[in-house]
Each structure stands twice: as C-alpha cells, then as structure tokens.
C-alpha cells in the first residue's frame, strides 16, 4: 500500500509557504494529495474559483509526479476514508495557528479515530506568509514574486486587472 497524506486547504492562492510544506512532507511520504476544500459553511467567496485553484496548483507541481491535486466537498474525514488514507498534513506558521489546527485535528480524530494529523513548520522565510496577505499585496499593486511561483503571480495580476475593469 502506497503511503500518502492529504494536505487540505483553501489555497487561494497557493503560496511558496504551501509549496514548502508539500516538499517537506514528500521527504517522508510517497505522495501527497493536495485537497482544495469547498467551504460550503463559509459565506466568503474566494478570489479564484475552486477549479482555478486546482489548475494553478497542478501547474505549480507539474514536474512532481508524487503530487495529486483535487477538490473535495464535505468533511475531510469522509474524503480521507474515500481516499484510503489516515494521514493529514497541516502547516503551522505561528502559535496562533496551533489552537485552531489542534482543535480541528482532535475533532477529526473523534470523527475518524484512525486519522492522524502531522503538523509541519515551514521554512522561516515563509513563517509570516498567508494567502490573504498575498491577495492584499497583489490587490494593491505590490510585488508578490517573493511569495508565490511565477505562474501564480501572473494569474494574480491578470485576475486583479480583470476585476478592475
């Protein structure tokens, strides 16, 4: 049986911090499923559609055959069961992330007792980085090339030009 983990999130957009977590996880996993979550319980609409996020992530990892990208709806535990894995990877940037992530990990384990969550810290260069900060900088015309891949940077710029019309 192939050992793989699910890396769930909204990835709106995927940042170099997300990429770093994937690369770190691949040092001890055979594969990662990046699972873009539909957030039916949140009213906030993302900058990129779910399909656009999946496409962007696939482009970012196009040269990495151990990465699969898909979208999912519903509970993460149900998705994990369908995919036949009991391992979730999550990134922790700061102590403020820990409380929420720890609560989610415990609830997921309550719903699916075999499910384990591994927390990974990103490279210090990305410890402050979030997709919402990247969106804000890009929306105000700032340079995000240090924080996202060239593909994502180009798509962010195009998206904000489109929204400005």
- Determine the Cα–Cα distance for residues 19 and 28; give it in Å rounded to an integer: 15
Ramachandran bin of 142, using left for φ above 0, alpha for ψ from -120 to 50, beta for the remaining angles? beta
Looking at the chain, the whole-number percentage of residues with pLDDT higher than 70 is 96
- The pTM assigned to this predicted structure is 0.93
pLDDT digits (tens, 9 = 90+) for 85-132: 999 999 998 877 899 999 999 999 999 999 999 999 999 999 999 999
Q: Where are the alpha helices (DSSP H) in 35-127?
A: 50-60, 76-83, 95-111
90-123: b (≥16 Cβ within 10 Å) or e: bbbbeeeeeeebeeebeebbeebeebebeebebe
Domains of the chain are: 4-128 (3.40.50.620)
- Angle, alpha carbons 70-77-93 (nearest 5°): 75
pLDDT-derived band of residue 40, with 50, 70 and 90 as boundaries? low
Nearest to 8 by CA among 53, 60, 63, 62: 53
């Amino acid at each position: 049986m192939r050992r793989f983990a699910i890396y769930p999130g909204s990835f709106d957009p995927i940042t170099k911090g997300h990429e770093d977590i994937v690369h770190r996880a691949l040092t001890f996993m055979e594969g990662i499923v990046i699972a873009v979550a539909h957030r039916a319980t949140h009213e906030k609409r993302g900058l990129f559609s779910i399909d656009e996020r999946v496409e962007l992530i696939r482009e970012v990892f196009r040269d990495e055959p151990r990465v699969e990208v898909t979208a999912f709806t519903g509970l993460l535990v149900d998705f994990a069961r369908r995919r036949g894995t009991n391992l979730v990877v999550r990134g922790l940037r700061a102590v403020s992330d820990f409380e929420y992530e720890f609560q989610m990990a415990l609830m997921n384990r309550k719903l699916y007792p075999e499910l384990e969550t591994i927390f990974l810290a990103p490279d210090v260069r990305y410890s402050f980085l979030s997709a919402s900060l990247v969106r804000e900088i890009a929306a105000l015309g700032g340079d995000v090339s240090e924080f996202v891949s060239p593909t994502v940077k180009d798509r962010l710029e195009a998206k904000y030009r489109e929204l400005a019309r």
